[in-house]
Amino acid sequence: MADRMIEIADLHKSFGALHVLKGITLEVERGSAVALIGPSGSGKSTLLRCINLLETPNRGRVRVGERLMEFGAGKTRLPGDRELAAFRAQTGMVFQHFNLFPHMTALGNVMEGPVTVARMARREAESLARSLLDKVGLAGKADAYPQHLSGGQRQRVAIARALAMNPAVVLFDEVTSALDPELVGEVLAVIRQLAEEGMTMVIVTHEIAFAHEVADVVGFMSDGQIVEMGAPAKVLENPGNPRTQAFLERFHSFIGSYGQGAGGRAPG
């Protein structure tokens, strides 16, 4: 179906003897935001890293946009460097620990993809990068190096860097988990804006309240599988799966004991 931006089928990933993803099927509609929640170690981040092939799946199919990759028995030929790079260029990724390039300014970080990968002229790349920094509220920090930015600012630069490649999908990997609580809001505001603009996104998060607010679909992962998936109101308020119920109960009791001011983060 042409309206599906991401299609994942029967995806398996192991690290040595550890079977991390056990047959994932996931479809993401164009323009929709999918939030993945679940306990630590359930495979959320690994799934995200398989979507842009930062991890190589052991088995299964991954399609993003027009590009399809198949892995597993009988498909011994792994994609080459050029093919992988082209596949990854279609997705943007934002990481928990920002991973900005410390030897480049904020502007340089955002320009790097367009200039080095997309071969855009520097002048053009610079104006693109400046407009993206402006979009994330950091027009004034273009010449600052990452070490002189706060965590929230770094993460917003990282979002601008991901957007600079004009990706079909943006993957968010627990992007607020390493931030001080008072800096979470500014990053979530940028993601919220992207959702409103209709950016296709997959968001791995512990911010349950945020997932409820911005996601069109919420998936609950446990032990390497997506055990429940559906509208936020259904999955988060009225979960059908006992594991989802148990996870959210812990979360609600966490909120109960710390109050809403805790930022709505799930435990674990």
Partner 1 sequence: MHYSWDFSFLWQYRTFIAIGLGFTVLYALGTIVLGLIIGFVVGIARLGGSGDAAAEVAAPGGPNLRVLLTGRPYAAALRGLLFLYVEVFRCTPLLVQLIWFYYAFPVIVGIDIPAHVAAGMTLSLYTGAFYAEIIRGGVNSIERGQWDAARAIGMRRGQVMRRVILPQAIKRMIPPFMNQSITQLKNTSLVSTIAVSDLLYQGEIITATTYRPLEVYTAVAIIYFGVLFPLTLLAQLVEKRMAASD
Residues that bind partner 1 (CB under 8 A): 52, 54, 56, 78-86, 88-93, 95, 97, 99-103, 112-113, 116-118, 147, 158, 161-162, 164-165
State in angstroms the smallest separation of the CB of 265 from partner 1: 22
CA 209 to chain centre: 17
State in angstroms the smallest separation of the CB of 103 from partner 1: 5
State in angstroms the smallest separation of the CB of 212 from partner 1: 27
State in angstroms the smallest separation of the CB of 160 from partner 1: 12
Which residue's CB is nearer to partner 1, number 190 or number 248? 190
Which residue's CB is nearer to partner 1, number 142 or number 165? 165
CB burial of residue 76 (10 Å; 0-12, 13-18, 19+): exposed
Structure tokens at 116: 């080095």
Which residue's CB is nearer to partner 1, number 5 or number 208? 5
Which residue's CB is nearer to partner 1, number 46 or number 244? 46
Which residue's CB is nearer to partner 1, number 149 or number 209? 149
Buried b (16+ CB within 10 A) or exposed e, 215-233: bebbbbbbebbbbbbeebe
State in angstroms the smallest separation of the CB of 69 from partner 1: 11
Backbone φ, ψ for residue 177 (5° rounding): -65, -25
| Residue from 67, 49, 95 nearest 4 by CA | 67
Structure tokens at 134: 């402006």
Q: Length of the chain in residues, anyone?
A: 268
